[in-house]
Structure 1
Amino acid sequence: MSDIFTPGQAGPAEGEYPRLQELIDAGVPAELHPWLGESGVGALVVRMGIRFLEMSPARMVATMPVEGNEQVAGILHGGAHAVLAETLGSFAASIHAGPGKYAVGIEISATHHRSVSSGLVTGTATALHLGGTLTTHEVVMTDSEGRRLSTARITNLIREVR
């Protein structure tokens, strides 16, 4: 796997990324295309309709539509909240991990405060701890009126690529 962090691992030249359109559709900034150009954002991110608005280790923001992600009662599925939270926390931790390292989720919890049955949900991950071996992010999901829908916490372990 190539990345933008490890010397000599810049990946393919611009325009040669197999997943370039996927990155563009997901809102990934151009400066992160070399890092994700070969792997993309992942099939689940695409399937859930997650679109990134901000991407950094300290703050990661994305939206996700309710439509297509509901449970049988017609409201956003609790697992969809967790998918959005894990996506944001894990991407932020991966960027923080840097050269020759990667992040893997080791714990996630979520509290659901309010339901939503339509529109877009916005998830905002804020770093609580950015260490050398662990990162922890709080992720708040809100509806289009800014009302808190859920609060999640995700912890990632940073590992070295072998």
Structure 2
Amino acid sequence: MSDTSDALAATPSIAGTLLERMGIEVVELSAGRAVGTMPVEGNTQPYGLLHGGASAVLAETLGSYAAQVHAGAGRAAVGIELSATHHRSARSGLVTGTATALHLGSTLATYEVVVEDADGRRLCTARLTCMLIDARR
């Protein structure tokens, strides 16, 4: 399932989740790459800047979705490590995250996630590692 439309169709509903509350929209999805957007508005810290935790949530969301596609049916991708370096911030607009696979193994999947503003300036660089396990029913 590497086609974006097939992968997106197979994702569960985000109703009532953190993704819905933060306005995250996944627009491209495959095992090797996931792209999504998030508004700055509503995701700021008290000084009006994009919250670093919001960038981390976007990064983990995109990497986890891609890792789940890689894991396949009957398996689950669970995040085991996330690191993020914040380079600059944003005060408005949409930010875009792009998760790119660094390692796609049978038990681990690792992604680099770059979060950029509307002008293509890098706001955050994150790395996510997910463990791929058998899904429990």
TM-score (normalizing by structure 2): 0.91
Match of 1:13 in 2: none
Identity %: 61
Q: 1:46 aligned to 2:20?
A: yes
Match of 2:61 in 1: 87
- Please show how residues 7-156 of structure 1 align to structure 2 within 5 Å: 29=5, 32-33=8-9, 35-36=10-11, 39-41=12-14, 43-156=17-130
**Aligned residue-pair number:** 133
RMSD over aligned Cα atoms: 1.6
> Higher strand share goes to which structure?
2
Which AA in structure 2 matches 1:40? S
- Whole-angstrom distance in 1 between the partners of 2:43 and 2:127: 21
Structure 2 unmatched ranges of 5 or more? none
Q: How far off is 1:31 after superposition? A: 5.4
**Could you tell me whether the CA contact under 8 Å between 2:43 and 2:50 is conserved in 1?**
yes
Q: How far off is 1:150 after superposition? A: 0.5
- Look up the SS of the partner of 2:44 in the other structure: coil
Runs (4 or more) in structure 1 with deviation over 6 Å come to none
Greater Rg by CA: 1
Match of 2:132 in 1: 158
- Whole-angstrom distance in 2 between the partners of 1:31 and 1:104: 18
- Whole-angstrom distance in 2 between the partners of 1:143 and 1:116: 7
Structure 1 unmatched ranges of 5 or more? 5-27
TM-score (normalizing by structure 1): 0.78
**Could you tell me whether the CA contact under 8 Å between 2:7 and 2:30 is conserved in 1?**
no
CA shift digits 1:21-62 (9 cap, x unpaired): xxxxxxx836543x33xx413611111101112111101000
